Amino acid sequence: MPHSKSNNSRLTQLFPIIGWLKSYTRQEFNSDLFAGIITAILLVPQGIAYAIMAGLPPQLGLYASILPPVLYALFGTSRTLSVGPVSIAAIMIASALTAPEISVLGNPVQSALILSAESGAIMLLMALLRMGGLVNFISHPVLTGFTSGAALLIIGSQLPQLFGLKTPSCGFNVSCYSHYFSGIVSATLFIGLIAIGLLVFFGKPLVLMLKNSGMQSYLIAAISKCGPLLTIILTTLAVDYFDLTSQQNVAVVGKVPSGFPVLNMDLSPIEKWSVLLPYSGFIALIAYVESVAIAKVTANFRGEKIFPNQELIALGVANVAAAISGGMPVAGGFSRTMVNFSAGARTQMAMLIAAGILALAVIFFSPLFENIPKTALAAIILVAIVPLVKLNDIAHTWRYDRGDGIAEIATLLGVLVYGIEEGITLGIILTLISHLRKTSQPHIAVVGRIPGTEHYRNIKRHNVETWSHLLLLRVDESITFANINYIEEFINAELRQQPDIKHVVLIFTSISDIDTTALEVLENLNHTLQTAKMTLHISEAKGPVLDKLEKTDFLKQLQPGKAFFHTEDAVRELAKG
């Protein structure tokens, strides 16, 4: 019986869907049904828009919105994450496909499928190596700088679509741009601006109006999320009715094949895999980090838990499924997830319903997608992307921490100037340098006792008692090879300023570890102090630190110095003489 329970537990860990299906209720299904319908409304325009933004046929975005979310629903730990094509991944795919070494190989569709397969394989390998904690190694400032930079790149890539222009190739030639902008298609621009107006209206203005009218919140959520679909329907009808494609040269999506491609994994030639691997690595990393971040946001609202390593498995399987089913790489989408959550989704059943509705649309209604104007899709992307440019966050980070601010600004500029992969690499490197700088120069406080208490605080911040022959130092960082020389120099500088010192007490309240190099330097420091007729002591050392020190001769070498349990004990004994 225990063996059976153990097997069931492992099965539930691998397939979290089993856990919530056991207690699934009719009420939850009703909520998921409503949320699934609302989310499906977003899937069509977003799937097509992000595929075109990546430089791919529109069906690759639609296919990526069907089988991948189904697989994620089986393996994922988030109840509301909406997996499918996303804007950041789309711009990264576009960057990869336009790289000279990849574009020369031709067949961008095949390259995109390989990116999906490799991204999925990398995530599964990371899961096997238990690298779920990797999400913690990309700091929030780097992620914000990357997102803002990528969002600006996306805006730059969509503005020509909004104006009915091709991507400019003028570089810094100012006169070239005057000729370039003379090619604006007025009908295309007009449709694009109308689309933006509709989408903005369906945001806060419409929600506010409906709230003031006393409408129920679930109906407000349903109506306000119909903006993208209504925009597509109206602009497509206008293009079709007025024959704007031939009369005004308005660019449209074009033919979208009905039905599904044959499931297969024939992604040869093999030489493409090695060339695409670095790009796949970055796509996998960003897709994972952003997906987990989004999943945690909605999970925190309901007290649910996200398991990062299981998310690697779920996203890895979803991306492999995208490759097999003819789709582009996928990740958790912020806007779709928030729509899904706001519409009342309780479980991944909502995404299974949404994927089912989209599958029916691809089978029966693909011909209706043919006359969707690209300018309307550009408008949908622009309205969704503009809020991701968070320049205020950069200013806030700069005021709070210059090191993080530099990393955030460098990441943004790196993405814009050098490219997506180079930009985020630069940000990660600068973050690590900033961390090492802080670690190598820890905060050290000379402390004294607040009168009438047993509390010891920084003499530069508080009015405290001090003693001419006693130096109390608090090191606010673990002592390692990276900072021990800085700590030693700080102590020596204090001793030069206070020649009457007889006792030095190192307060270890903030120290969690002392490495071998640091221990050796502390031993040499102790010997130097003893030669100078001074005594070194330690106080308030944590259990694990004392355990390590007791395995060495340090505490014996410290004598007549002592290891005090409380700093107050040290002061009572040493302040006398």
Task: Identify the DSSP state of 365.
Answer: S
Q: Digits of tens for pLDDT over the chain (577 positions)?
A: 455 555 667 788 888 999 899 999 999 999 999 889 988 888 888 899 999 999 999 999 999 999 999 999 999 999 999 999 999 899 999 999 999 999 998 899 999 999 999 999 999 999 999 888 776 777 888 888 888 988 898 898 889 999 988 877 777 777 888 887 888 889 999 999 999 999 999 988 998 998 898 888 878 877 887 888 899 999 999 999 999 999 889 999 988 888 888 888 776 777 889 999 999 999 999 999 889 988 988 888 888 889 999 999 999 999 999 999 999 999 998 888 888 888 889 999 999 999 999 999 999 988 889 999 999 999 988 988 888 888 888 899 999 998 899 999 999 999 999 888 888 889 889 988 888 888 899 999 999 999 999 999 999 999 999 999 999 999 999 999 999 999 999 999 999 999 999 999 999 999 999 999 999 999 999 999 999 999 999 999 999 999 999 999 999 999 999 999 999 999 999 987 6
Helices (H), 202-347: 204-212, 217-224, 227-241, 244-247, 271-302, 308-324, 334-342
Distance CA 353, CA 44 (A): 14
Q: Of 550, 344, 543, 564, which is closest to residue 472 (Cα–Cα)?
A: 564
Q: 560 preceded by cis ω (within 30°)?
A: yes
Distances (CA, A) of 354 to 37, 62, 70, 573: 6, 12, 10, 73
Distance CA 476, CA 502 (A): 23
**Does domain 444-574 match CATH 3.30.750.24?**
yes
Q: Of 521, 469, 475, 519, which is closest to residue 495 (Cα–Cα)?
A: 469
Q: Return phi, psi of residue 456, to 5°.
A: -120, 125
Q: What are the boundaries of each domain within the chain?
A: 27-165+198-388, 444-574
Half-sphere exposure of 39 (CA within 13 A, CB side): 36
Half-sphere exposure of 21 (CA within 13 A, CB side): 10
The one-letter code for the residue type at 244 is: L
The CA R_g of the chain, rounded to the nearest whole Å, is: 30
Burial group, residue 311, by CB count within 10 angstroms (0-12, 13-18, 19+): buried
Taking the model in full, what pTM does it have? 0.79
- Tell me if 412 sits within 8 A of 430, measured CB to CB: no
The pair of three-digit structure tokens given for residue 216, joined into one six-digit string: 């129920």
Bridge-partner residues for 470, per DSSP? 467, 503
The pair of three-digit structure tokens given for residue 335, joined into one six-digit string: 């806007």
Distance CA 187, CA 377 (A): 15
As a three-state string, the secondary structure of 400-430 is HCHHHHHHHHHHHHHHHHCCHHHHHHHHHHH
- Tell me if 327 sits within 8 A of 58, measured CB to CB: no
Helices (H), 184-249: 186-201, 204-212, 217-224, 227-241, 244-247
3-class SS of residue 205: helix
- Tell me if 344 sits within 8 A of 9, measured CB to CB: no
Distance CA 512, CA 541 (A): 8
Distances (CA, A) of 31 to 24, 294, 342, 344: 12, 21, 11, 6
Buried b (16+ CB within 10 A) or exposed e, 4-26: eeeeeeeeeeebbbebbeeeeee
Helical (H) or strand (E) element with 555: helix 554-558
Q: Return phi, psi of residue 371, to 5°.
A: -100, 15
Task: Identify the DSSP state of 192.
Answer: H
Helical (H) or strand (E) element with 36: helix 26-53
Burial group, residue 543, by CB count within 10 angstroms (0-12, 13-18, 19+): exposed
Burial group, residue 155, by CB count within 10 angstroms (0-12, 13-18, 19+): middle
